[in-house]
Amino acid sequence: MIDSQTALDRCAQLLDAARAAGADAADAVASAESSEGISVRLGKLEDVERSEGEDIGLRVFVGRRSASVNTSDFSKAAFTELAERAVAMARLAPEDPYAGLVGVEDLAGSGIDAAALDLDDTGEPSPESLRERAIAAEDVARATPGITNSQVSAASFGRSVMALATSNGFSGSYSGSSHALYCAVIAGEGGDMQTDSEYRVARHFEDLPDPEEIGRIAGERTVAKLNPASMPSSKMPVIFDRRMGGSLIGHLIGAMSGSSVARKGSFLLGHEDEELFAKGIRIVEDPHKLRGVRSRPFDGEGVATRKRALVESGKITGWLTNYASAQQLGIGLTGHAGRGSGGAPGISVSNIDLIPGSISRDAMIGAIDDGVLVTEMVGMGVNEVTGDYSRGAGGFRIRNGEIAEPVAEFTVAGNLLEMFAAITAADDLEDYRGINVPTLRIDGMTVAGDG
């Protein structure tokens, strides 16, 4: 796989071709990735995958007209042809008053050293060691009393490189590695079968849990779901497990996207100055988190990323923008442009943490006479314009302050604005996901079951 310098050199060559073809301005983004994965089932090798890919994209501007193209052919002739085609396409495109490159004054300088983020593990596991880790996780999971079968156990490793260059002077790149381990098993027989899993991903191998820990959690989670009961239809407190709570913050981030706001597609419109959360709720983004799974020194348009609160004292702190949405809304850039090799930049975030509260998970559950702990959700019944929320769920009944029998096939519903206002956060934050939240409690949600 190519290194960062090679990726930057390719971007520079493609920009030269764009200028020669008549582009007024342009940017180029190059990416490369490689991965290797081993999966096993019932102790036997199930699959071996290895992939490598390299790509480069070019966006050109002719006045306020633009076009984007991409290729995996890196020859000089291919770059010349690609640039000429892109410029010809741009000349035929409609004018867009919001299209353009980020101004020089807003481009990232040399403040953040990508290497200082420690995203790249220099070691690389052998296929044999990946297989051993997958088997070790599955062996422990299958040894859990009540486990009857295995779905899959898999270990993988990957590397990636991203580089961006613009015709007005920005040039930057960063690389990263990824270790992952996954185990899913089955409990019960026939129509009573249940399945669950555990999964972890980390930049560095030493930050992964032992395979035996992955297998233990997968086995225990699965057995705990056996013989689920139904839920009555009622309004009650809902506890969102840490695996599930991050999706609620994902809906918030989507509604804070400048692109959604500009097209009037956000349920937060008209509420930006209100206290949407309790004053104690604080949500922070840190793109410079050491070894963070979404860390990055600059965004997809070359704007410097920075640590900031997204929610402070119960209020959102503003919209998340790329160049186009900032122009449409008449506000500043926030370093949230997301970028692939094709098409115009979108909106993306880095590492997100909902700062933990002061109550323990056990105490939070202990204060509930009748409620439900949600540990899995299905479907995506969320209206981005109104905030209406309805999703299928499974989990455990809470009775008299204790986790009771497993429950399944019910729906939790509400409106996200009302749900945000009712959130209470426990003190059990885990820091290894892209969006990290502690256990969350939301009172007054509608639970629809068979009763």
pLDDT at residue 26, rounded to an integer: 98
For residue 37, the Cα-to-chain-centroid distance in whole angstroms is 21
Strands (E), 292-439: 308-312, 315-316, 337-338, 346-347, 352-354, 370-382, 388-399, 402-415, 423-425, 435-436
Question: The pTM is what?
Answer: 0.94
Model confidence at 450: pLDDT above 90:
no
Domains and CATH numbers, the chain: 4-222 (3.30.2290.10), 228-451 (no CATH)
User: Which three-class secondary structure state does DSSP give residue 172?
Assistant: strand
Backbone angles phi, psi at 4, to 5 degrees: -60, -40
pLDDT at residue 139, rounded to an integer: 98
Backbone angles phi, psi at 204, to 5 degrees: -115, 145
pLDDT at residue 191, rounded to an integer: 83
388-437 per-position pLDDT tens digit: 999 999 999 999 999 999 999 999 999 999 999 999 999 999 999 999 99
Model confidence at 230: pLDDT above 70:
yes
Q: Greater confidence, 68 or 114?
A: 68
132-185 per-position pLDDT tens digit: 999 999 999 999 999 999 999 999 999 999 999 999 999 999 999 999 999 999
Separation CA 199–CA 243 (nearest Å)? 10
pLDDT at residue 33, rounded to an integer: 96
pLDDT at residue 221, rounded to an integer: 97
Model confidence at 111: pLDDT above 80:
no
Confidence of residue 380 (pLDDT cuts 50, 70, 90): confident
| Neighbour tally for 257: CB within 10 Å | 25
Q: Is the dihedral of CA 114, 117, 119, 121 positive or negative?
A: positive
User: Which three-class secondary structure state does DSSP give residue 100?
Assistant: coil
pLDDT at residue 105, rounded to an integer: 94
Model confidence at 451: pLDDT above 60:
no
Amino acid identity, position 371: G
pLDDT at residue 243, rounded to an integer: 95
Mean pLDDT of the chain: 96
| Radius of gyration, CA atoms only, the chain | 24
Separation CA 292–CA 98 (nearest Å)? 32
170-218 per-position pLDDT tens digit: 999 999 999 999 999 999 998 889 999 999 999 999 999 999 999 999 9
Residue with tokens 């490793």: 157
Separation CA 331–CA 321 (nearest Å)? 8
**Inter-axis angle of helices 127-142 and 211-224, nearest 10:** 30
Model confidence at 362: pLDDT above 60:
yes
Model confidence at 95: pLDDT above 80:
yes
Separation CA 376–CA 53 (nearest Å)? 34
Confidence of residue 110 (pLDDT cuts 50, 70, 90): low
Separation CA 57–CA 102 (nearest Å)? 17
Residue 155 sits at the vertex; the CA angle it makes with 153 and 159, to the nearest 5 degrees, is: 155
